[in-house]
Every structure is written in structure tokens, then in C-alpha cells.
């Protein structure tokens, strides 16, 4: 398999002179699911935003399919096949579920919606139900499923998932990861999973990278101290 994403020596952060990412090196191969595991404040969500050029990058290199994407705006990255599902399952709360889907799918609605319904349970409701249901009335699990559908509507080659289990009930977490297995296995989408739920990340991903204070330290969890493991699993 070839590298779909390669990051070398990446430094960056939100404020001038304050680097949250401090020399990130990592690769993701086409078809992989790679976990970025870290505690709150470790830089894992910042890394996702840096890939999408949503924060300032001081130095380093990001290659997507061998091409530098460092200077491309976020909307161009989406066109090239990268999409980020941000933490919390962000959707348009003041619109119906169907209106959210129409915005995401656009002219691809007729061709792409039915295959998506086979993977994402909440989309299997009737069209009239989806038109009547307002996004702000969805449960946490349903909102995350809608956000995932909207992310996949762009037909990305690489999807970055920022804490897809955050704030969900145990049942909703299980449902989400069942869906993600189909996204990877059936749809063939490469996944960069940013996650604090270490058990689910390690179970789902082909491999997991541990990030501490903006630096990737290890490709497994063996270097975690007992205190860190307890913090992850609270």
C-alpha cells in the first residue's frame, strides 16, 4: 500500500509563538485506520485541524498522495478528498435532517444517498420523517451519525474523525464503531481517528499513535504509565 498522508517535522499552533504541535512525524497508508490517541490538551485535535489547514503551521511538510497540501485552503482540501468530522458531531441545528443532507450531498443526492442508507441506520427512516425531524431534536448518537453522513457525502479518500465517541452513551458508541467498520470495509475510506477512548481506538484501528504534548511518542500504548491508562479509561 502507498502512503496517502505523510507528515514530516510539523510545528504549529493557534497563537503566534505558541506551538502546540512540536515536530509531528507520521504516515497513513491508503485503506488504513490509524488512531491518534492522547489526553485532553495533548494536541490530537490540533493535529486534525493542522492537516485541514485550519490553524497556522510554522514549519514542516504535509503530503497527500505525494503532493504538498501545505498552502491549500480547507475547501480545496475537501475537493482533493480530505474531510474532517469535528468533535461533537457538528450539524446545522436550525435545519431539518433532510436539509442538512441536501446541503452535504448537493447534486450527488440521487446517486450517493441510497448506498449511504445501507451503512448509517438513522438514514433508513422515511424521507418524510427526515424532512420533519429537526437536527436540534436528535439524540447525541443520531447527531453523530448525521455528521458522519455529511462528511462521507463528499466521497473523501481520507476522513479525519475527531472524537466520534465523545459524549455518547455506551450503546451509541458501539453503534458508531459498527458504522465505522462498514465505512472502512465496505466504502474503503482511509480513516484518521482522533480519540481519547483508548479501548475503542485500539480495537478498531490497524495501529495507534500516542501523542503527548504535541509530539508522537510511540506506535502502541505500551509506553503509557499506569496513571495515564487510568485517566484514559475514566
pLDDT tens digits in sequence order for the chain, 234 residues long:
699 999 999 999 888 878 899 999 999 999 999 999 988 888 999 999 999 999 999 999 999 999 999 989 999 999 999 999 988 778 999 999 999 999 998 877 777 788 888 899 999 999 999 999 999 999 999 999 999 999 998 889 999 999 999 889 999 999 999 999 999 998 899 999 999 888 899 899 999 999 988 998 755 555 555 445 545 544
Cell of 19: 506551538
For residues 104 and 149, the answer to whether their CB atoms sit within 8 Å is: yes
Residue 234, pLDDT score = 47
Rounded distance between C-alpha atoms, residue 131 and residue 98, angstroms: 5
Residue 138, pLDDT score = 93
Residue 223, pLDDT score = 53
- Beta strands 33-37; 190-195: pairing state: parallel
Measured in degrees and rounded to the nearest 5, phi and psi for residue 151 equal -65, -40
Does this model's pTM top 0.95? My answer is: no
Residue position matching grid coordinates 504535509: 62
Residue 154, pLDDT score = 85
Domains, the chain: 31-57+72-232 (3.40.50.300)
Cell of 120: 448509517
Residue 181, pLDDT score = 95
Residue 221, pLDDT score = 57
Residue 178, pLDDT score = 95
Q: Which of 12, 44, 17 is nearest to 232 (CA)?
A: 44
Amino acid at each position: 500500500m502507498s502512503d496517502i498522508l505523510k507528515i514530516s517535522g510539523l510545528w504549529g499552533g493557534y497563537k503566534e509563538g505558541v506551538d502546540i504541535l512540536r515536530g509531528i512525524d507520521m504516515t497513513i497508508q491508503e485503506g488504513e485506520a490509524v488512531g491518534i490517541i492522547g489526553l485532553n490538551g495533548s494536541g490530537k485535535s490540533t493535529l486534525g485541524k493542522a492537516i485541514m489547514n485550519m490553524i497556522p503551521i510554522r514549519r514542516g511538510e504535509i503530503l497527500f498522495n505525494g503532493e504538498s497540501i501545505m498552502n491549500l485552503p480547507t475547501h480545496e482540501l475537501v475537493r482533493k478528498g480530505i474531510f474532517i468530522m469535528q468533535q461533537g458531531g457538528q450539524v446545522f441545528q436550525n435545519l431539518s435532517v433532510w436539509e442538512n443532507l441536501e446541503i452535504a450531498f448537493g447534486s450527488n443526492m440521487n446517486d450517493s444517498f441510497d448506498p449511504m442508507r445501507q451503512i448509517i441506520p438513522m438514514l433508513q427512516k422515511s424521507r418524510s420523517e427526515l424532512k420533519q425531524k429537526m437536527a436540534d431534536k436528535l439524540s447525541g448518537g443520531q447527531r453523530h451519525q448525521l455528521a458522519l453522513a455529511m462528511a462521507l457525502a463528499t466521497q473523501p479518500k481520507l476522513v479525519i474523525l475527531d472524537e466520534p465517541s465523545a459524549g455518547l452513551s455506551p450503546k451509541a458508541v458501539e453503534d458508531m464503531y459498527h458504522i465505522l467498520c462498514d465505512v472502512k470495509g465496505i466504502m474503503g475510506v482511509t480513516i484518521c481517528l482522533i480519540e481519547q477512548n483508548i479501548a475503542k481506538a485500539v480495537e478498531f484501528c490497524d495501529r495507534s499513535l500516542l501523542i503527548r504534548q504535541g509530539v508522537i511518542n510511540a506506535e502502541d500504548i505500551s509506553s503509557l504509565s499506569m496513571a495515564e491508562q487510568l485517566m484514559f479509561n475514566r
